[in-house]
């Protein structure tokens, strides 16, 4: 049985292309997940791995290698588990099929390249943030609480508006309001 696993990182993305390719590859069951590939603990991936039957000619099929893991150690851990259970692995984009010796070799090479690529992305991001800080800019999300919002919240709280309602009125969460106005009465 071919078991597909499709993963996207954010809700703004879609599984459609991966599911289409997995169906074309003959997947009988497809698990979909929205989670960062950098996270090792992914419940749907765990469910997909548990669904595979040891020594039953099952195969885990993914659209692309980085859909199953973003780090080489995690990828190898998954592959070791599949291998010990007698389960095959196939990545459609990289044309990796662990049924063959060449496929197993290519799997390890592509895994190393994926880990290298992720490390480069992290390195470039850190260099970019460092350069921005040197120019006086600070990375991260834009401020949620402007001076105008802070004043509006103070007025609402002074007039007896509950904290929850004051936060909603300016479009922030209650924890954000407390972070910006630590003295606000709870």
Q: pTM, whole model, 2 decimals?
A: 0.58
Q: What is the pLDDT of residue 142?
A: 63
- Tell me how long the chain is: 186
Angle (CA) 3-20-91 rounded to 5° is 50
In the DSSP assignment, the letter for residue 62 is: E
pLDDT tens sequence across 29-83: 999 999 887 777 899 999 999 999 988 889 999 999 888 887 777 887 888 888 8
Taking residues 122-145, report their average pLDDT: 81
Q: Is the dihedral of CA 109, 110, 112, 117 positive or negative?
A: positive
Q: Please give the Cα distance from 6 to 30 (Å, whole number).
A: 7
Sheet holding 29-34, edge to edge: 29-34, 2-8, 59-62, 88-91, 96-97
**What is the set of active-site residues?**
9
Q: Please give the Cα distance from 10 to 62 (Å, whole number).
A: 18
């Amino acid at each position: 049985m071919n078991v597909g696993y499709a993963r996207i990182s954010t809700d703004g993305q879609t599984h459609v292309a991966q599911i289409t390719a997995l169906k074309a590859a003959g997947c009988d069951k497809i698990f979909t997940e929205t989670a960062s590939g950098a996270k090792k603990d992914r419940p749907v991936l765990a469910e997909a791995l548990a669904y595979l039957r040891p020594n039953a000619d099952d195969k885990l099929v993914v659209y692309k290698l980085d859909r199953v893991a973003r780090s080489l150690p995690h990828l190898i851990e998954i592959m070791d588990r599949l291998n010990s259970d007698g389960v095959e692995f196939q990545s459609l984009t990289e044309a990796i099929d662990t049924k063959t010796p060449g496929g197993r070799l290519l799997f390890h090479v592509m895994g190393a390249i994926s880990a290298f690529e992720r490390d480069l992305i992290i390195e470039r991001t850190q260099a970019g943030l460092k350069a921005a800080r040197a120019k006086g800019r600070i990375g991260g999300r834009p401020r949620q609480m402007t001076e105008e919002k802070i004043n509006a919240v103070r007025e609402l709280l002074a007039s007896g508006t509950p904290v929850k309602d004051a936060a909603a009125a300016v479009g922030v969460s209650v924890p954000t309001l407390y972070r910006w106005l630590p003295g606000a009465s709870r």
